[in-house]
Amino acid sequence: MRLGLTTTPERIRTLTSRSRELGFELVSLPCIRIDAVPGGADRAGEAALQADAVVITSRRSLEMLGGAIAPGVPVIAVGPETAAAIEDAGGTVALVGSGGVRQLARDAGQILSGKNVVLVGASNTARQSAAALEMAGCSVTAIELYTTVPVAPPDDPVDAVAFGSPTAVTGWLIARELAELTVAAIGETTAASLRGHGVEPDVVADQPGFINMIEQLAALRLERSTS
């Protein structure tokens, strides 16, 4: 099955081996452009020195940070895929959320309550994520590292598509349709964007990350083939 991922060829190379095991041929169909927020990483590094912890929302956020966060600052990862990327980069993860930021707030409410936290992420979602953490009783400084801009994807044919963000949904719909495709969303926020366009996703990842989406798509294909 040809599976379109709304991300770059560089990112897809890290997913190819597992995807082939599950029977997918990956196709890079980027639907967003990444624009760095000037000075964002430096501001994050300075704020982190005064914080009890830094929440890194995604692999992309980690890449945009570079080495801005001092080694001794506790890091909280949103999802196991982000945690793995942090550890691969030589960082130490103090806590891993089992899902998105809202789930992290539920999982770690008692730990985060009363703490000063720096949250880094995309300008499109950083404020919403900060509000979710504030519900857990912590003080949050949201630092915007980058902006995602929707762009039309290539027209390569695929049987399924996995969306990594609401912006990617917007980008896809600039030039393509979703009729007759199996559709996956990386989390509830992206799923809500699809529903807002009248599309009910076949898969909503229970943990953020492309691998989780691909594994759940494989399970769905097996279920459909045996029903």
Percent of the chain with pLDDT over 90: 53
User: 115 and 48 in one domain?
Assistant: yes
User: 183 and 161 in one domain?
Assistant: yes
Tens of pLDDT, residue by residue over 48-57, are 999 999 999 8
Contact (CB, 8 A) for 144 and 65 = no
As given in the structure block, the two tokens for residue 12 are 């897809």
- Structural domain that includes position 22: 2-31+151-226
User: 166 and 140 in one domain?
Assistant: no
User: 157 and 105 in one domain?
Assistant: no
Contact (CB, 8 A) for 69 and 45 = yes
Confidence at 199, pLDDT banded by 50, 70, 90: very high
Mean pLDDT of the chain: 89
- What is the structure's pLDDT at 139? 92
Cβ neighbourhood burial of 40 (10 Å; 0-12, 13-18, 19+): buried
Contact (CB, 8 A) for 120 and 146 = no
- What is the structure's pLDDT at 25? 95
If one compares 24 and 95, the residue with the highest pLDDT of the two is 24
**CATH number of the domain where residue 173 is located:** 3.40.50.10090
Number of domains in the chain: 2
Task: Pick the last residue of a domain from 146, 180, 210.
Answer: 146
Confidence at 12, pLDDT banded by 50, 70, 90: confident
Residue 109 has pLDDT above 70, yes or no: no
CA 43 vs CA 33, 40, 48, 125, 143: distances in Å: 22, 5, 8, 18, 7
Type of residue found at 21: E
Residue 192 has pLDDT above 70, yes or no: yes
Task: Pick the last residue of a domain from 146, 175, 203.
Answer: 146
